Amino acid sequence: MEFRRDIQGLRALSFIIVFIFHLNSKWLPGGFIGVDLFLVISGFLMTTIITNQINNESFSFTSFYINRLKRIVPAYYFFIIITAFISSFIYLYSDLNILKSSIYKSSLFISNQLFASGNSYFGAKLTENPFLHTWSLSIEMQFYFIFPILLYFFRKNTKTILMLIFLILISYTTYKIFYLDQKNIMYFSLLARIPEFFVGGIFALIFNKRINFNNKVNNILAFLSLIILLTCSFLINELSPFPGILALIPCLTGVLLLSLKDNKISAFFSSKPLVYIGELSYSLYLWHFPIMALVRYKNDRYEFNWHEIIVISLLTFVLAYLSYNFVEQKFKRFSTKNIILLLGGLFLITNLYAYKVKNVFVANKIDNMYSRRSFGSESHGKDFVQKFGSSKSNDKILLIGDSHARSLKSFFDEIGRKNNFSFQTITCDSYPALKGISRKDIEKNESDGINFYETSLKLIDTTEKLIDESEVIILAIIGIDRPNSEYMAIENLCTNLKENQKLILVNSYPTLERDPLKINNGYIQINNTQIERESNLKTKSTLYKLANKYKNVFIFNLDTEAINKNLGYINDTVIYYDRRHLNEFGAKKLVDEHEIKFVELLNN
């Protein structure tokens, strides 16, 4: 196949819009369609190359797979090894399991399966995972494995077979997204992405000599295709039902740009700067995201300032330049034997490092008291009730709520043991196990919280039974306004209190904009950057409104001056295990200030 400069230029465009999207998704909300363009280009090129070789009777499965390995894997493994090593120094010890899993799955080109599960409620977020972008390379390698088999054994009916599979899979994906609400799973699914490869493949087969009307028509079509493509990168966003049928718009406009002959847009994409970026695009793609992810993790904030953007851009280009010239270009000239030996060695090194990383960095391990949520885990997210406080008492006191209630179990336990009262507890992440919280509210506002919501549903019967049996109910939640039906469920609890029952609403400790453990890389304050609090004024006013409205409802205020004095710390020791939750040390430290007030409230 002849070398086409315009294809390199289109690769450059694909990378640029992905790069902008990864810098800040608000700047280019649909910039992720750059990945879809990469897949369309791959489908177009692979179909052209393989069918030409089959027609010339020169196709070899061995040669095809070896060439793909030479092209993709050496730079990929060097990226994994270097990124894994650097990440180990930046990641907290408690997050090394996330890193370990990411290294394993990425090295096997199956990381798309790992990331399909979405963000973890605790630990590093997906935007802070330096291997997140490998999902698309995993899908690409999986496709490369099956595609030549399909083209070779169905070479007499290739167009028909590709069209049939395309229609089946695009229907399947669209059904999963629109009717089963599995957008996140589909986003990382090979089956959902095969139609995008096939769009490129079908055009390569039907228009193997390219589409050519006349100069004017070619230019109009190319210009419109580019405008539609760029418009998609602004109008499509992370909430859109994507991929599925919606992905066909950028895919079709992209493949039209590949197929149109002689036009000014193709000439523009053939310019030297874009062709050069296109040549570096694979290495640029490999290196840009881990740099961003590790800066985000270390700073514990999503946005970059302009100084960071300049450094990220320069570092991405330098590493891509080195990777392209000293890895990509060098190793593609290796013999088959040497490349297999090299890749085997790199694979072993990668996985051995992943296996041993927690042992190597065990000195960085932070005591669970500061770094994890451990106290009261048996009664959190499980249909199991625990008793805390005084072992000699059997008081009818109940603690319920979300992850804030869990983090306060050790707080109330300490006060209970000191003051001879006990309490029972059952809690769950994100939403209290109360009747009336609407699934639709959660799907609308916090689609990644559906799993937590479904867990809370399983605990409602036990929670309601405990509420009925208790005289004092303590409810602690992170916020009362997410979603709106959560407020309704809590007000319903207030309304249905018996005469002898009291409800204590905890005005909880503040949540932070940054995680002090991350920015200090430990539990002792060494970074003097001031940490800001997230606003909870709406939650506070709503709680006091309920307390004023119902005579059996009271407020216990934890958001006091002492905890806000040096936000995130007490005496230079971190009191949060992430930016939203007190650690066990912090919870027990609050006892010193709040014990007397809580006991007075309880006695009254």
Range of the domain at 396: 368-603
Work out the pLDDT band at 239, boundaries 50, 70, 90. confident
Examine the domain organization and report whether 147 and 187 are in the same domain. Answer: yes
Q: Which has more confidence, 297 or 484?
A: 297
Answer yes or no: is pLDDT of 487 > 90. no
Closest CA to 81 of 112, 110, 106, 111: 106
Contact predicate 141/72, CB 8 Å: yes
* Average pLDDT score over residue span 3-8: 89
The DSSP output letter for 512 is: B
Work out the pLDDT band at 121, boundaries 50, 70, 90. very low
* Average pLDDT score over residue span 306-325: 97
- Residue 443: predicted pLDDT: 62
- Choose the final residue of a domain: 364, 394, 426: 364
Least confident of 35-49, 233-247, 537-551: 537-551
Examine the domain organization and report whether 285 and 184 are in the same domain. Answer: yes
Least confident of 164-168, 383-387, 487-491: 487-491
Examine the domain organization and report whether 538 and 430 are in the same domain. Answer: yes
Examine the domain organization and report whether 333 and 481 are in the same domain. Answer: no
Examine the domain organization and report whether 318 and 383 are in the same domain. Answer: no
Examine the domain organization and report whether 34 and 139 are in the same domain. Answer: yes
* Average pLDDT score over residue span 118-133: 74
- Residue 478: predicted pLDDT: 84
CATH number at residue 425: 3.40.50.1110
Q: Please tell me the pTM assigned to this model.
A: 0.86
Examine the domain organization and report whether 175 and 209 are in the same domain. Answer: yes
Distance, in Å, from the CA atom of 475 to the CA atom of 490, rounded to the nearest integer, reads: 9
Domain count, the chain: 2
pLDDT tens track for 399-410:
999 999 999 999
Distance, in Å, from the CA atom of 475 to the CA atom of 332, rounded to the nearest integer, reads: 62
Examine the domain organization and report whether 372 and 349 are in the same domain. Answer: no
Distance, in Å, from the CA atom of 160 to the CA atom of 153, rounded to the nearest integer, reads: 13
Examine the domain organization and report whether 467 and 584 are in the same domain. Answer: yes
* Average pLDDT score over residue span 331-346: 90
Examine the domain organization and report whether 299 and 398 are in the same domain. Answer: no
Examine the domain organization and report whether 355 and 387 are in the same domain. Answer: no
Examine the domain organization and report whether 141 and 231 are in the same domain. Answer: yes
Share of the chain above pLDDT 90, in %: 66
- Residue 94: predicted pLDDT: 87
* Average pLDDT score over residue span 209-219: 89
For residue 19, CA distances in Å to 6, 313, 488 come to 20, 9, 43
Instruction: Look up residue 10 and give its amino acid.
Output: L
Mean per-residue pLDDT of the chain: 90
Closest CA to 477 of 546, 580, 585: 580
Tokens 């297999």 locate to 340
- Choose the final residue of a domain: 346, 364, 382: 364
- Choose the final residue of a domain: 364, 395, 427: 364
CB-facing half-sphere around the CA of 497: CA atoms within 13 A: 23
